[in-house]
Amino acid sequence: MTIRIAGTGSAFPKTVVTNDDLAKVMDTSDEWISSRTGIKERRIAKDETTAGMAAEAARAALKDAGMTVQEVDLIIVGTLSADHFTPSCACEIQAELGAVNAVAFDINAACSGFMFSLHTAYAYLQSGLYKNALVLGAETLSKIMDWEDRSTCVLFGDGAGAAVVRREEEGIFVFDQGSDGVKGKVLSCKARLVNNLLVQQGHEPDYVHMDGQEVYKFAVSTVPASINKVLDKAGVSADEVAYFVLHQANIRILQSVAKRLKVSEDKFPIILDRSGNVSAATVPLLLDDMNKKGMLKRGDKIVMSGFGGGLTWGTALIEW
């Protein structure tokens, strides 16, 4: 028993913010951002919400899979920027879609959120507990950025991607995942402060803090190792893989991973030039972009990998 992705979908906020737009309001430039990251523009939410974009992406994925909402029995959303502490983004999508037969919950594994959600769906589906899952990554990161910190705010964007996942008899699904909480501080954002009868910590909101170089070092060593682990487990060579669909944080990370795997950069498609880093959403956003362009053929071997805050990482080899 294994799983297969049967459909994909995505949604972005309407508003495009280019590097030049940012340069008008802060001390930065298109040259600095694009040469270090490959990012040219990102979408920023105005009235869009995490759950609203996720529901739109989910509807598109169900349509692509030819599946009715009543057939969905599991909804998992990878997110670190849900609209509420509770209800979860997944429960909000369930309500919005009318997916009355589904159990729904969120997973916070930062930029690995979609991969952790996919692995969790695999465990449920493969065990026979559920049959059809909606797996998503959805973020409104613009609300947790410090817009006065040019070293972080230029990197991130908003959006949502979805995949319909089906239990199937045949196919490949091999995965690896891990976490290293000891290094968690290199990419962090505090939740609400304690303000109760006993303690008053104040009401200063916190924003994303990142030690970019430490995150970079972590990514370029951990991601190739995780991919190699999955390929070894499956007995598949890197040459046999059609595409490496990696978390879209930075073009330099993708180039370094390609080099370490001795694989052509052509096998590493990108969407980060148009999306920026949308944390948990980047892998399904890119997958949907590739699907719409007709790049994915039945039987293709695809490696997907997410990495980031926690620190966390997750990789899967699938057969399309």
What are the residue numbers of the active site? Answer: 111, 247, 277
The reply on whether position 226 binds ligand COA by CB under 6 A is no
Q: Compose the 178-217 pattern: x for residues touching ligand COA by CB under 6 A, - for all others.
A: --------------------------------x-xx-xx-
Tell which one of 40, 131, 143, 150 touches ligand COA (CB under 6 A). Answer: 150
Distance CA 162, CA 160 (A): 7
Joined tokens for residue 240: 């046999």
Contacts of 151 (CB under 8 A, 6+ apart): 210, 212
Burial of 156 (0-12, 13-18, 19+ CB in 10 A): buried
Query: Inter-axis angle of helices 30-37 and 251-261, to 10 degrees?
Result: 20
Nearer CB in complex with ligand COA: 160/234: 160
**Nearest distance in Å: CB 209, ligand COA:** 11
Q: Is 90 helix (H, G, I), strand (E, B) or coil?
A: helix
Tell which one of 36, 143, 209, 229 touches ligand COA (CB under 6 A). Answer: 36
The residue number with the shortest CB distance to ligand COA is: 212
**Nearest distance in Å: CB 37, ligand COA:** 5
User: Kind and range of the H or E element at 43?
Assistant: strand 41-44
Nearer CB in complex with ligand COA: 5/33: 33
Tell which one of 5, 55, 111, 303 touches ligand COA (CB under 6 A). Answer: 111
Joined tokens for residue 127: 């065990």
The reply on whether position 174 binds ligand COA by CB under 6 A is no
On whether the CB atoms of residues 249 and 222 are closer than 8 A, the answer is no
Q: Which residue in this structure is represented by tokens 């104040």? A: 202
Contacts of 261 (CB under 8 A, 6+ apart): 224, 227, 228, 238, 244
The reply on whether position 151 binds ligand COA by CB under 6 A is yes
**Nearest distance in Å: CB 218, ligand COA:** 8
The reply on whether position 308 binds ligand COA by CB under 6 A is yes
Tell which one of 51, 97, 102, 154 touches ligand COA (CB under 6 A). Answer: 154
User: Kind and range of the H or E element at 213?
Assistant: helix 212-234
Nearer CB in complex with ligand COA: 13/276: 276
Binding site for ligand COA (CB under 6 A): 28, 32-33, 36-37, 111, 150-151, 154, 210, 212-213, 215-216, 249-250, 277, 308
